[in-house]
Amino acid sequence: MSGQRARFRRKQALLRWAVLTVVLLFFVLPLLGMLDFTTQGPGGQGRTLETWRTLADVSRISTDYPALREGFLASVGLAVVTPVVMLVLLVPTMTWVRLRLPGLSRTVEFVCLLPLTVPAIVLVVGLTPVYAWVYYLLGDSTLWLGLAYVVLVLPYAYRALDAGLRAIDVRTLAEAARSLGASWTTVMWRVILPNLRTAVLSASFLSVALVLGEFTIANLFSKKNLQVAMYELGKSDAKISVAVGLASLVFAFVVLFAMSFVGSGRAGTSPFSRLRRRKEPTA
């Protein structure tokens, strides 16, 4: 019997390694192809790192490729604006619904997941009148794309935050903090958020990954982010465009992989735990 179990475990291990190998090849081979293309010498002869040296030279990129610099700065700004707006919108709303309006939880979930069913072109058509007024009143900065990106990231951020809220007893934490004299602002900032740090970081990383890879909406709105700049640059300098694409892909993979390691901390070190210990009488 034990021999059969051992053979079954070996087969399971072999199957896991086979699946893992296929997945790694599926993701790694295109990246190796991109790296091979960017390191080819003139006429496809030999190897050179000139493309990567150019990409690492910030002053040269700013001078020779101003569109790439503009797109990169726009994407960095959007990668900051989008997670902030998303968290300010979702965290208080989801927490309040869980505490005071649990009957609306299905409605909020439906609204947050709805963008998954809406094609990008339909979303752009619907947002065009809104952006017309935004551009007229507030200017036509590329950073206003963050409003559309918040809509795009809602399904993924909602799932990450919902998992975090389900993992803690929000009602008990809020009632305990209120009984100790904390305001609702303190409850949200010093009790709920520290306990949701892993979910918040996961939602933020997903937002950053989406922003760095988004092309359709920016292109349809005639705005220049990193992906649009890479597309335009590919018509004149394919190697630089592919090198930037490879760097952004690797960065996105690293960010998503880091989600498995961030946000962990020792139990009992949250601000709520420290607040509770200060209120407890000493023996």
Residue 258 has pLDDT above 80, yes or no: no
DSSP string, 228-240: HHHHHHTTT-HHH
Q: Which contiguous run of DSSP H or E holds residue 215?
A: none
Percent of the chain scored above 90 by pLDDT?
Answer: 18
pLDDT in tens, 55-112: 888 888 888 888 888 888 999 999 999 999 999 999 999 999 988 888 888 999 999 9
Higher pLDDT, 257 or 116: 116
> Environment class of residue 172 by beta-carbon count within 10 Å: exposed (0-12), middle (13-18) or buried (19+)?
exposed
Rounded to whole angstroms, the Cα distance separating 21 from 15 reads 10
Cα–Cα dist 269/246, whole Å: 39
Q: Torsions phi, psi of 280, nearest 5?
A: -70, 135
Considering only 14-18, 49-53, 152-156, 266-270, which range has the smallest mean pLDDT?
266-270
pLDDT tens figures, 150-174 = 999 999 999 999 998 988 888 888 8
How many Cα atoms are found within 13 Å in the side-chain-facing hemisphere of 254? 7
Name the helix (H) or strand (E) containing 101.
none
Residue with tokens 């004299």: 181
Classify 16 as helix, strand or coil.
Answer: helix
pLDDT at 275 over 70: no
What is the model's pLDDT at position 260?
63
